[in-house]
Structures are given as structure tokens and as C-alpha cells.
């Protein structure tokens, strides 16, 4: 059986913390920023934890 390959698109979008949690960027800060309020763009800063329902599928893609 050949080795599992890491899904490169997923590996570029999701980081694994030291404790094994999955972190992702929040959506909605790439373009069309003029019409979005400062309050909204501040709320979209930083990273957030991946939903538990998606964690299993993403771990399989990452080979964890």
C-alpha cells in the first residue's frame, strides 16, 4: 500500500497547534472591503478553531 499524500490545499489553509487543535483564518477579508464596516473587519481578524464536525474529515486530508 502506498503512503498517504497530504492534501496540499488543506495544508495551506489550516494549521495544527501543539495540542493538536486545528486553526483556520476567518472568511470575508480578501476583497470588497470598502463596504464592510470597521467593526466587522476587526471581528474577522485572526484565526479561529475549526468546527468539530469538520475536524475528522480535515485530519484525514492532512494525514494526522
Within 10 Å of residue 22's Cβ, how many Cβ atoms? Answer: 21
33-62 confidence digits (pLDDT tens): 999 999 999 999 999 999 999 999 999 999
Q: What is the pTM of this model?
A: 0.81
Domain locations in the chain? 8-62
List CB contacts of 21: < 8 A, sequence separation 6 or more. Answer: 49, 50
Query: What DSSP line would sit under 2-64, residue for residue?
Result: PPPPP-HHHHHHEEE-TTS-EEEEPSS-SS--TTS-HHHHHHT-SEEEPPHHHHHHHHHHHT-
CATH number of 8-62: 4.10.410.60
| Residues 20-32, mean pLDDT to the nearest whole number | 95
Amino acid at each position: 500500500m502506498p503512503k498517504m499524500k497530504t492534501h496540499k490545499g488543506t495544508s495551506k489553509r489550516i494549521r495544527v497547534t501543539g495540542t493538536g487543535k486545528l486553526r483556520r483564518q476567518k472568511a470575508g477579508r480578501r476583497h470588497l472591503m470598502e463596504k464592510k464596516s470597521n467593526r466587522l473587519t476587526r471581528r474577522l481578524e485572526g484565526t479561529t478553531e475549526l468546527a468539530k464536525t469538520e475536524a475528522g474529515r480535515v485530519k484525514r486530508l492532512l494525514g494526522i
